[in-house]
């Protein structure tokens, strides 16, 4: 028997064996007492599979989705939503203290997602062709990631238009998914827009000789799937997507601006929570008029473009060519884009009054925080999707800044992921009431 005391960064419950080894068990909740089958055991840790719940924890619930016991898409769905938020807050605080060695932290403000379910405007499913013409398509199984859990439109993650499109696509792709590219395994990504249009990107597989699919197959998909307006394909993950059918002139209204939508251009998957996140960041940057802003890892340039429209001067830095193209499109006066890696082009954009960092899960590259520390902008707003890399990067910044505010936004309900907004003020700006970054043992 194991007593579950917390959750890992993957959403697995954490318990300990009598000899002190930590064991990770999916589908368990803090406070559970469970019977576990050990599936992997190392010198200091192990993994287990839930066999039986002897005593449920105080915040365990019956998961709304019948597939949740096996499906890896929603690792926390068996936990009440307020308890999910508390677990994420606790994980963030622990990472900042343990990995970043940070002390004197302000209280973490946690903002729930406006929608607990049906919030994703972009969902990726794995399609696998099996023997005998069988097809399964869905998410990887939680304890056996080599298997696929077959999911239809009843999946509770996609927005309603995306879910309807997924259900119809499954009915329209034909026996053995013959109307899709050939190959044992495909990755299918559906992206919905605010007005109900849906794009399909097929990754992997091969087109028939001459770059074709089954004759008439594309028309059947476009006609049979509600809202589907474009079908794209790329064989390799680094290939440029190719439009197979439909229109490439799909646009999305995002934070008051209209942007073209194509595979590769990044927009947050949780539309309502993303609006909340962006407003929180913009509030920390106000007022931009007459000030210079660096929008690093800018994607389509949401923060820099907004600052420029409100009288600031902004420089965006973005590596992805497609996102950079969108950022340049109809850019307001006062916004300039540098295409390339942040670590290579940041020096061209400095000095600046304000800096936004919105890096990928791996965090910022070596040297970025040190360069910012040397040039000392008045304020840095760091938007992070991983508490561990956030803690590491804040430690690299040194003692020239103080943490003025810590905010967590739940962009991904039912998962262990959390988005964090950290406001960092230069220590000599007169904000004496805000706690400094302090290091344990310093």
Write the DSSP assignment of 70-119 as a string of letters: TBSS-TTTTB-HHHHHHHHHHHHHHHHHHTS-EESPPPEEEE--S-SSS-
Residue 304 has pLDDT above 90, yes or no: yes
**CA-CA distance, 95 to 411, in Å (whole number)?**
19
Structure confidence at residue 438 (pLDDT): 44
Residue 72 has pLDDT above 80, yes or no: yes
Residue 191 has pLDDT above 90, yes or no: yes
Structure confidence at residue 433 (pLDDT): 38
Active site residues: 385
**Do the beta carbons of residue 326 and residue 347 sit within 8 Å?**
no
Residue 169 has pLDDT above 80, yes or no: yes
**CA-CA distance, 412 to 391, in Å (whole number)?**
20
**Do the beta carbons of residue 3 and residue 54 sit within 8 Å?**
no
Residue 398 has pLDDT above 90, yes or no: no
Domains of the chain and any CATH numbers: 2-60 (2.40.50.140), 94-114+270-439 (3.40.50.150), 122-260 (2.40.50.1070)
* pLDDT tier for residue 405 given thresholds of 50, 70 and 90: very high
* pLDDT tier for residue 212 given thresholds of 50, 70 and 90: low
Structure confidence at residue 90 (pLDDT): 94
**Do the beta carbons of residue 421 and residue 383 sit within 8 Å?**
yes
- The percent of residues in the chain predicted with pLDDT above 90, rounded, is 80
* pLDDT tier for residue 437 given thresholds of 50, 70 and 90: very low
Residue 429 has pLDDT above 60, yes or no: no
Q: What is the average per-residue pLDDT within 193-220?
A: 82
* pLDDT tens profile 92-136: 999 999 999 998 899 999 999 999 999 999 999 999 999 999 999
- Which tokens in the block code for residue 44? 């200091």
Q: What is the average per-residue pLDDT within 77-81?
A: 97
* pLDDT tier for residue 210 given thresholds of 50, 70 and 90: low
* pLDDT tens profile 353-389: 999 999 999 999 999 999 999 998 999 999 999 999 9
Look at residue 187 and give its three-state secondary structure.
strand
Q: Which residues contact 335 (CB under 8 A, 6 or more apart)?
A: 301, 304, 305, 307, 308, 314, 315, 316
Structure confidence at residue 439 (pLDDT): 38
Whether the bond into 10 is cis, omega within 30 of 0: no
Q: What is the pTM of this model?
A: 0.88
Structure confidence at residue 386 (pLDDT): 95
- Measured in whole angstroms, the distance separating CA 102 from the mean position of its chain's CA atoms is 25
160 or 259: whose pLDDT is higher? 160
- Measured in whole angstroms, the distance separating CA 365 from the mean position of its chain's CA atoms is 19
> Token pair 């308890």 is at which residue?
83
**CA-CA distance, 382 to 359, in Å (whole number)?**
8
* pLDDT tens profile 216-256: 788 999 999 999 999 999 998 888 899 999 998 898 887 77
């Amino acid at each position: 028997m194991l007593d579950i005391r917390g959750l890992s960064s993957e959403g697995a419950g954490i318990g300990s064996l009598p000899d002190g080894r930590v064991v990770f068990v999916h589908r368990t909740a803090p406070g559970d007492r469970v019977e576990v089958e050990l599936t992997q055991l190392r010198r200091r840790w192990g993994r287990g599979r839930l066999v039986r719940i002897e005593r449920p924890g105080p915040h365990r619930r019956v998961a709304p989705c019948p597939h949740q016991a096996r499906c890896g898409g929603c690792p926390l769905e068996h936990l009440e939503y307020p308890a999910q938020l508390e677990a994420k807050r606790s994980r963030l605080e622990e990472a900042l203290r343990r990995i970043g060695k940070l002390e004197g932290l302000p209280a973490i403000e946690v903002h729930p997602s406006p929608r607990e379910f049906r919030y994703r405007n972009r969902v990726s499913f794995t399609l696998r062709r099996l023997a005998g013409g069988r097809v399964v398509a869905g998410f990887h199984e939680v304890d056996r990631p080599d298997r696929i859990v077959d999911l239809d439109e009843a999946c509770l993650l996609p927005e309603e238009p995306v879910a309807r499109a997924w259900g119809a696509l499954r009915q329209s792709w034909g026996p053995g998914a013959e109307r899709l590219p050939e190959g044992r395994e495909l990755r299918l990504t559906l992206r919905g827009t605010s007005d109900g249009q849906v794009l399909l990107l097929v990754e992997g597989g091969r087109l028939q000789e001459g770059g074709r699919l089954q004759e008439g197959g594309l028309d059947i998909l476009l006609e049979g799937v509600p809202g589907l307006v474009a079908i794209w394909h790329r064989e390799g993950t680094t290939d440029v997507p190719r439009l197979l059918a439909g229109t490439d002139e799909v646009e999305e209204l995002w934070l008051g601006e209209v942007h073209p939508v194509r595979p590769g251009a990044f927009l947050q998957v949780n539309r309502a929570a993303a609006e909340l996140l962006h407003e929180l960041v913009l509030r920390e940057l106000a007022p931009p008029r007459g000030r210079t802003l660096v929008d690093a890892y800018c994607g389509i340039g949401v923060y820099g473009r907004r600052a420029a429209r409100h009288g600031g001067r902004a420089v965006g830095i973005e590596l992805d060519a497609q996102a950079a193209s969108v950022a340049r499109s109809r850019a307001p006066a006062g916004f300039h884009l540098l295409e390339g890696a942040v670590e290579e082009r940041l020096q061209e954009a400095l000095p600046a009054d304000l800096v936004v960092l919105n890096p990928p899960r791996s965090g910022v590259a070596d040297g970025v925080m040190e360069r910012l520390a040397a040039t000392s902008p008045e304020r840095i707003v760091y938007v992070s999707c991983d508490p561990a890399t956030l803690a590491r990067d804040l430690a690299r910044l040194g003692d020239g800044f103080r943490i003025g505010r810590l905010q967590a936004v739940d962009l991904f309900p039912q998962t262990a992921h959390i988005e964090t907004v950290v406001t960092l003020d230069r220590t000599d700006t007169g904000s004496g009431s805000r706690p400094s970054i302090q290091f344990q043992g310093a």
